Chains A and B, each alone.
Chain A
């Protein structure tokens, strides 16, 4: 699947999970194929913007660090999102910025200092063959990535690109990455919220929620007050990004990019895409609040984010 490209880098140490991602796989969810794509699409968008790439160009999503890359060709790369203590030949790299690399240098990601996921953009995007319209790596489904089979990066993998970086750009003042606008996550309430008890709805929006250790690309569990829903025996239905489902134990699970396509638990609603990006950078134990937002307000905020990249 991988095509030989002249420019690139090689993986020397793989770390827990580094995945080739783009905006995700669309138009095939009715076949049971998940969305996939960068969890923190805002940071990936900015990483790409720094090089003059389209915001959804294929980039590397690096979770928690432990990754070492051997640069094979000189050029300019960009990094945005979590601070994973990134160094180039041992020298700390600036956060959320483009940087020059030379052949033979070593780019390393040690451990999370703030946030969980960093995005490495390369000129023109990572060169990989799209599968079902996307290079998004979904390990569980065996789709996407460098080999087309969804696997995470392994030692010896070569990651190539064909483009050239545009003129140097700097992150606009006021942009904070990883996205961390307050501790409130915007949630568009769904129709099923009417089936939760009044106490539960009040508790949902007026209590602290802790990010649980049970968190991955499929979903993030929150712990806090027990929520009660009167709906029972629900028939499975399609699940949107960010859906906040509440299983019988009353503890919500926010469903993210690699979620199953249909499911039968009642839902409070769905986090907005911006809130999902924010949640993807929250470490276990972090405290959050949920804040209700109308679909129209959520849409304005979402379109404003994309307008930055036009």
Chain B
């Protein structure tokens, strides 16, 4: 493991560990995250892990760029991957339905199967949380099986309802809050992904694993879900 350090701003460096998205990156990223947090301590402003990298933003009142660079290299010297048992496993209930997931039928048509088959296949495996971003608590997960891979909508929707479960290429995610979005929506979950009262705020963390579980409309409503149809693309 030879990390590459890249200058990205006055007070920021990117630590590049890998080049491509891979579940096998996660134990290394988790270990690097812990090592860097410990090494920078109060001199750390923010640390943003992503699929293959970590962005380190440090306090320039305490460290120069050169000092930050040296601290990163020292922290990552002899790094060992974290235990793969570290992440949590979440089972997330989803109401899959064309009224809240307009692309469910489109993907089924493309594959020449019925909607239930698409649902079963989306629920058939554990997904790894690669990174958080886009919105608070939004986890980029994958990989969905190759056949389900669907490119982003050409024109993103102005509004995607909170809880919407979507696919983009081979990734899948849940929208934590109402926002614009270009992912292919299959259904909706009542789960609260970001909660300011929750310890740690976000339900999902990089390295966690997620399994989706299909539930009925009634179960979704009982869980507090809002069954209003997703407005169609303008």
Contact = CB atoms under 8 A, between A and B. Distances in A.
B132 interface: yes
Contacts of B57: 29, 240
A141 B65 contact: no
Interface string B170-195: 00000001010000000000000010
Contacts of A31: 132, 136-137, 194, 201-202
A183 interface: no
Contacts of B19: 235
A26 B45 CA distance: 6
Contact of B202 (A27, A32, A239, A269): A32
B133 A261 contact: yes
A141 B135 contact: yes
Given A236-B133, A238-B14, A240-B55, A32 B138 contact: yes
A293 to B, nearest CB: 8
Classify chain B: how many residues form its interface, as a range: 35 or more
B61 A306 contact: yes
Contacts of A278: none
A156 interface: no
Contacts of B33: 30
Contacts of A215: none
A20 B51 CA distance: 34
A267 interface: yes
A238 B11 CA distance: 13
B61 A238 contact: no
Nearest to B47: A30
B10 A295 contact: yes
Given A31-B137, A32-B132, A299-B65, A191 B10 contact: no
A30 B129 CA distance: 13
A299 B64 CA distance: 8
Interface in A229-261: 235-243, 260-261
Contacts of A26: 45-46
Interface stretch (B1-9, B74-82, B108-116): B1-9
A270 B19 CA distance: 22
A178 to B, nearest CB: 20
Interface of A: 26-33, 35, 131-132, 140-143, 188-192, 235-243, 260-263, 267, 269-270, 272-273, 295-296, 298-299, 302-303, 306
| Shortest Cβ-Cβ A-B pairs, 9 listed | A238-B55, A270-B9, A238-B48, A191-B6, A262-B133, A240-B12, A240-B9, A298-B10, A295-B65
